[in-house]
Amino acid sequence: MYTFTDKVVLVTGSASGIGKAIANEYAKLGAKVVLNNLVETPDVLEFAEELKQRGTDVSFVAADVSKRDDVHKMKEHIENTYGTLDILVNNVGASLIKKPFAEISDEEWDLHSDVNLKSVYLVTQEMLPLLKSSENSSIVNLCSSVIRNGGIIGGSAYTAAKGGVDALTRALAKELAADNIRVNGVSPGLVDSNFHAVNVEERYPHLIQEIPLKRVGKPEDLAGAVLFFSSPHASYVTGEVLEVGGGARLK
């Protein structure tokens, strides 16, 4: 149904979880994949080697996507290696601290903004010249279901930052349409990934019972939505944010 043969794809935060699943699906469908992680780890190198053994043109760049210099170096790597970029998936995100709003420090607030929102700003801005050099490029931002439901109590800093990603997705869709760059978002619901420091099935049974499909999402569930948005099948879709949460928004 889909093919991404010879398309150059950057997936930020692709060493594990949702990002890894997204990168893996692009690789299966012929893309040239640029992996990214904060640091070089045995796991990400093993994943890159696995993709190479399967015939994927893959490279890895260690970069802190909340730092301009790191992101610029990643852009130079892609430019020097491939000369262009067809698809950007801004996947990096984290809910790092849970505490009452009144107790959040400036540093904690800024940290959530840097990881979740500033990273999208920096990576997208740096990659724009490469995306513009592609005939039909696409950006997919990972948002969150918290932009609709407000998130959990104690997660306001994360929720606010993800709300910014949602708004930026729509703003960029308007602005970049003139460059034939489509911008969409995917909002995960409750997903079993390393985003959570706990076993989600054990920790959140009450939430699972409220999901119409009665199960926790898998990283691969998100990958399908991301691939759709960046495929020719979505060539007339931009500025949309799709929630992938097992029907949770129906409640």
Residue 131 lies in a domain: yes
Catalytic residue among 2, 82, 158, 204: 158
Residue ranges making up the domain that contains 114: 8-243
What mean pLDDT do residues 191-208 have? Answer: 61
Instruction: Determine the distance from the C-alpha atom of residue 161 to the mean position of all C-alpha atoms in its chain, rounded to a whole number.
Output: 14
pLDDT band, residue 129 (cuts 50/70/90): very high
Q: Would you state the pLDDT for residue 247? A: 84
pLDDT in tens, 134-191: 999 999 999 999 999 998 899 999 999 999 999 999 999 999 999 999 999 999 988 8
205: left (phi over 0), alpha (psi -120 to 50) or beta: alpha
Distance CA 48, CA 23 (A): 10
Closest CA to 19 of 140, 169, 159: 140
Q: And the tokens for 220?
A: 């691969």
Q: Would you state the pLDDT for residue 213? A: 79
pLDDT band, residue 205 (cuts 50/70/90): low
Residue 250 lies in a domain: no
Residue 72 lies in a domain: yes
What mean pLDDT do residues 119-137 have? Answer: 97
CATH code, domain with 192: 3.40.50.720
Active site residue 158: yes
What mean pLDDT do residues 114-143 have? Answer: 97
What mean pLDDT do residues 123-144 have? Answer: 97
Residue 251 lies in a domain: no
Distance CA 203, CA 189 (A): 15
Residue 189 lies in a domain: yes
Residue 22's H or E segment, with its range, is helix 17-28
Distance CA 249, CA 212 (A): 9
Distance CA 122, CA 71 (A): 7
Query: What share of the chain in percent tops pLDDT 90?
Result: 82
Q: Would you state the pLDDT for residue 131? A: 98
Mean predicted lDDT score pLDDT of the chain: 93
Residue 1 lies in a domain: no
Whether the predicted pLDDT of 195 surpasses 60: no
Global pTM value: 0.94
Q: And the tokens for 204?
A: 């959140």
Residue 155 lies in a domain: yes
The more confidently predicted of residues 196 and 4 is: 4
Instruction: Determine the distance from the C-alpha atom of residue 191 to the mean position of all C-alpha atoms in its chain, rounded to a whole number.
Output: 14
What mean pLDDT do residues 190-198 have? Answer: 62
Residue 4: C-alpha distances to residues 38, 143, 231 (Å): 26, 23, 8
Question: What's the total number of domains in the chain?
Answer: 1
Ranking 49-63, 84-98, 198-212, 225-239 by mean pLDDT, the lowest is: 198-212
Closest CA to 22 of 97, 92, 117: 92
Residue 53 lies in a domain: yes
